[in-house]
Amino acid sequence: MFRNRYGIAVALRFHEQPMNKTSFRIALLCSTVVIGAASEYAEARTSHTQRAHAVSKSSAPQTGTKAKPALRHSPSTLEARSDESVHVTGAAYGDGVSNTTPGGGLMPVQTAPRSQSGITRDFIAKMSPTSNVQALIGNLPGVVTYSQDPLGVSGDSLNIRGMNEEQIGYLFEGIPIADPIRYAPYTGTIVDTENLGSVTVSQGSPDVDAPLYNAVGGQITMSEINPSHKAGGYLSLTGGTHSTNKEFLRLETGEIGHSGIRGFVSYSHMSWNNWRGPGGGTRHHTDAKFIKEWGDGNSVSAVFGYNATKYTSYMNPTMAAWNKYGRSYNYDGHYTLGDANYYGLNQSINNAMTVMAPSHFTLSNHLKLNVAPYYVHMFGPAVWGQNISSANSYFGTGAAGNLNLSNLTSDGMATTQAVDPWNQKSSGLNTSLVWSTKYNTLTFGYWYAYTQHEELANYIQTDAQGNSVSGFNNDPIRVADGRILTPWDLNFKQQSNTLYLADTVHLLNDRLQITGGFKATMLSRQGTNLVPGADPYKNAKNYFEPMPEFYASYKLTDHDQIYINGTTAFRAPGSVEVYSQLFDPSSSTAVEQPGNLKPEYSIGEEIGYRHHGFYNAAISFFNYNITNHQVTSYGYLPGTNSLVSEPLNVGGETARGVQAELALGNWHHFSPYLSGQYLHATIDNNYNAGSDYLPTAGKKAPSSPKFTGSIGLRYDDGTFFGNFALRYVDTQYTTFMNDQSLHSYVTSNMTLGYRMQKLGPAKHPTIQLNLVNLGDNNYLSGASSATGNAKATKGVYGSTIKGASPVYVVGGGFAALVSVSTGF
């Protein structure tokens, strides 16, 4: 199945294509090098071990610098006086590892009065350099990532406490980076893993001042490393199975003259073959960051990123297709006349450019100003194969006429490549004033954002080899009067205005902190569709949502904290399908009608305890009530092999449970980690299936496994290092009626590595072996869609409601990757 940006998908025939894989000799070579390097171990061990001990006993945080009290990157009154938000500016080794974070980088110290977990360079640097953010955070409590490939380069599907990625807010350097309409995060386009300093996951609630309006399920905050004060750089080369290779180079300017400005520029290239089925992908990425700091808390940063990724998507099966074909449910590897399932016609092309300038100014001893302007440009196209009729196609609600297509199949159909050149531009400004006294911190802020989205899909006929005749940028198929034959011609505009106010009172010598906050979002949307017969031609909706929040925390000791909170959040309906009709040349009527326009709203409560020190522990109990809960479903269009997505309003949902983490600091070079969650999520209402209601009240919510857990163990003595992680995900229902589910599964990953002291100009050259899905577990990692019922079901009023199967994500198989890296 190929699914474009707005959910249109094509179900394809099943054909097994041999995979082009790199020999495992690379992995064996790495093992040989690691073993051979043991001869250097005795000589280097003393100096490295002493250095590692010195770092682990240091009282400084991992980055060597504390976060500024006044909202360094993601301004948050909740964390105005915490030390947990840190940025890598230097470390013991060239890849940023300092071995100071408990749990091997999986449990940094948290002080915010809510459930919150994170990862740092100590963990990130030891994972595969090909991984995106979703692949990195799967060991944290409450997080279930839907692995789609072992490299972590494709797919951004996850759920946190039963909420999917479209219900999670994503921030990078304090800036919203997800699609502001569909909320897809595309984390692989944002930053290279080698430049990623830390990731913080807030399960359940966003910051009061976060520039988000979809975060009913929590917030994921990504921070980039800060430029070094010294000139130098970092080089990493990776190769492995599935013909994978990645080259990364970062150059550091150091301080430029006596200006106080320092920065870095990096570039990476990556290519791979799909681990199952034909096809593969390429990725080009550039990051740059410059920063100027002066005085007490003054800083101006300039952050830039550009990404160009092109890859063949994976087909997602129904349960019946998975049981019959397993991993062989793939695109066709060779083209034959009329084969719209040919992998060369089905690709995703994601391009993104981000520019941001988060700045912080100390106006007086008590007043600080934070200003964060940004611009994000994302564009396609997405492409997929589709057969259309030359004489009997439709343009909107009317006949398209004779399209005069050549190279027809016997049934009068011609194979085309549908091209969806979506183009989206977003800009915004988040600004706040923070007034602080000994007993009080008051924050007042305003966030404005504007988004424009344009999309004119078209069709290009293919030649006898399955190639598009005129290419993406040339003339597409037109109707008799010269207009482009298109299923949708969309223009979508959005404006958001958000005001927030929060006040934190510090009592009992700062041991007791109480925060009251209020946020109000005003969101205006309008979309037009110029396809003939579109009704409505224009659709608009305005939203106004007040969101109060309350937090309280108390330090029992310098190492123990308890907290309680009550939070609210809302999410405007996601995707353009909610606002516009979508058409197809095979039908004279719209294949997708505007959906339910009610916003999703959540009310949550938490109570928790955490301890930090040599051993680190955190536990929290949570309860959430959600109204107008929205999920996405897919269904086949009659008479076609296309799937269309539709946001569904399920009604109310209640979720409650408990999550916990436990980790140790360095103990004889070992650092273990353990996390887990129990979740009980139920549907509160019967589901409106059209002519009748499904009796779903009281049923378990889809994609909400009861138990999830993770075990991790890190070893690092300064020379040899290794990581092991094991994850368990319980059974998950995938329909509202609980009549279909996917099995529980266990996956495990391992890292082995050797770090030298110095080799000429190379600082701490390192060789690392990453083994992903060690047992090559054959499993489904999650559902990419949910349906009301998989089997025919009798409705509340007695009618029979036809079943529809959910579509599933096939879990990534085994991969072995070898990386050689060094600082200089």
pLDDT of residue 91: 59
What mean pLDDT do residues 319-341 have? 93
Model pLDDT for residues 354-377, shown as the tens digit of each residue: 999 999 999 999 999 999 999 999
pLDDT of residue 156: 79
Average pLDDT in the chain: 87
Peptide bond into 211 cis (omega under 30): no
Sign of CA dihedral 779, 790, 321, 635: negative
Our measurement of the distance from residue 224's CA atom to the centroid of its chain's CA atoms, rounded to an integer in Å, reads: 16
Lowest mean pLDDT among 19-33, 179-193, 493-507, 653-667: 19-33
Token pair listed for 448: 């404005």
Our measurement of the distance from residue 478's CA atom to the centroid of its chain's CA atoms, rounded to an integer in Å, reads: 38
Model pLDDT for residues 210-219, shown as the tens digit of each residue: 999 999 999 9
Query: Of 282-296, 338-352, 405-419, 588-602, where does the model show the most confidence?
Result: 282-296
With tokens 């929205």, the residue in question is 630
CA dist 746 and 532 (Å) reads 51
Our measurement of the distance from residue 449's CA atom to the centroid of its chain's CA atoms, rounded to an integer in Å, reads: 21
CA dist 387 and 340 (Å) reads 6
- Whether 228 and 202 have beta carbons less than 8 Å apart is answered as no
- Whether 740 and 733 have beta carbons less than 8 Å apart is answered as yes
Question: Is it the case that residue 72 has pLDDT exceeding 50?
Answer: no
- Whether 74 and 174 have beta carbons less than 8 Å apart is answered as yes
Task: Identify the bridge partners of residue 381 per DSSP, sorted by sequence position.
Answer: none
DSSP 755: E
| Residue in 659, 610, 543, 562 with CA at minimum distance from that of residue 142 | 659
Token pair listed for 327: 């991993």
Burial-class residue 216 by CB neighbours within 10 Å (0-12, 13-18, 19+).
buried
pLDDT band at 474 (very low <50, low <70, confident <90, very high): low
Question: Is it the case that residue 395 has pLDDT exceeding 50?
Answer: yes
Lowest mean pLDDT among 579-593, 648-662, 666-680: 579-593
CA dist 686 and 734 (Å) reads 16
Question: Is it the case that residue 60 has pLDDT exceeding 80?
Answer: no
pLDDT of residue 643: 54
With tokens 């597409």, the residue in question is 476
Question: Is it the case that residue 725 has pLDDT exceeding 90?
Answer: yes
Sequence-ordered list of residues with C-beta below 8 angstroms from that of 399, at least 6 positions apart, any chain = 392, 393, 588
CA dist 92 and 543 (Å) reads 50
pLDDT band at 47 (very low <50, low <70, confident <90, very high): very low
pLDDT of residue 645: 63
pLDDT of residue 163: 92
CA dist 659 and 338 (Å) reads 52
With tokens 């004489």, the residue in question is 391
Between 64 and 454, the higher pLDDT residue:
454
- Whether 712 and 106 have beta carbons less than 8 Å apart is answered as yes
pLDDT of residue 289: 98
- Whether 712 and 661 have beta carbons less than 8 Å apart is answered as no
Token pair listed for 752: 């082995």
pLDDT band at 53 (very low <50, low <70, confident <90, very high): very low
Token pair listed for 444: 């007042």
Model pLDDT for residues 249-289, shown as the tens digit of each residue: 999 999 999 999 999 999 999 999 999 999 999 999 999 99
Q: What is the DSSP string of 16-49?
A: --------THHHHHHHHHHHHTHHHHHHHHHHHH
pLDDT band at 470 (very low <50, low <70, confident <90, very high): low
Q: Does the domain spanning 2-381+421-456+488-823 belong to CATH 3.20.20.120?
A: no
- Whether 303 and 355 have beta carbons less than 8 Å apart is answered as yes
Question: Is it the case that residue 10 has pLDDT exceeding 70?
Answer: no
DSSP H helices in 309-421: 319-325
Model pLDDT for residues 781-791, shown as the tens digit of each residue: 999 888 899 99
pLDDT of residue 70: 36
What mean pLDDT do residues 108-125 have? 96
In this structure, the dihedral spanned by the alpha carbons of residues 22, 27, 29 and 31, taken in order and rounded to 10 degrees, is: 180
pLDDT of residue 634: 58
What mean pLDDT do residues 520-544 have? 93
pLDDT of residue 531: 95
Question: Is it the case that residue 62 has pLDDT exceeding 60?
Answer: no
With tokens 């002080």, the residue in question is 111
- Whether 653 and 683 have beta carbons less than 8 Å apart is answered as yes
Token pair listed for 807: 């579509």
pLDDT of residue 83: 39
What mean pLDDT do residues 42-60 have? 37
| Residue in 689, 690, 616, 704 with CA at minimum distance from that of residue 656 | 704
pLDDT band at 76 (very low <50, low <70, confident <90, very high): low
Question: Is it the case that residue 33 has pLDDT exceeding 50?
Answer: no
**CA angle, 670 as apex, 667 and 675 as ends, to 5°?**
100
Residue 80's identity, in one-letter code, is: A
Lowest mean pLDDT among 95-109, 319-333, 576-590, 668-682: 576-590
SS3 content of the chain, % helix, strand, coil (to 5): 10, 50, 40
- Whether 123 and 663 have beta carbons less than 8 Å apart is answered as no
Question: Is it the case that residue 207 has pLDDT exceeding 50?
Answer: yes
**CA angle, 137 as apex, 699 and 1 as ends, to 5°?**
65
Question: Is it the case that residue 32 has pLDDT exceeding 50?
Answer: no
Token pair listed for 794: 């009798």
pLDDT of residue 426: 97
Task: Report the phi/psi class of residue 53: left, alpha or beta, with left for phi > 0 and alpha for psi in -120 to 50.
Answer: alpha
Domain spans of the chain? Answer: 2-381+421-456+488-823
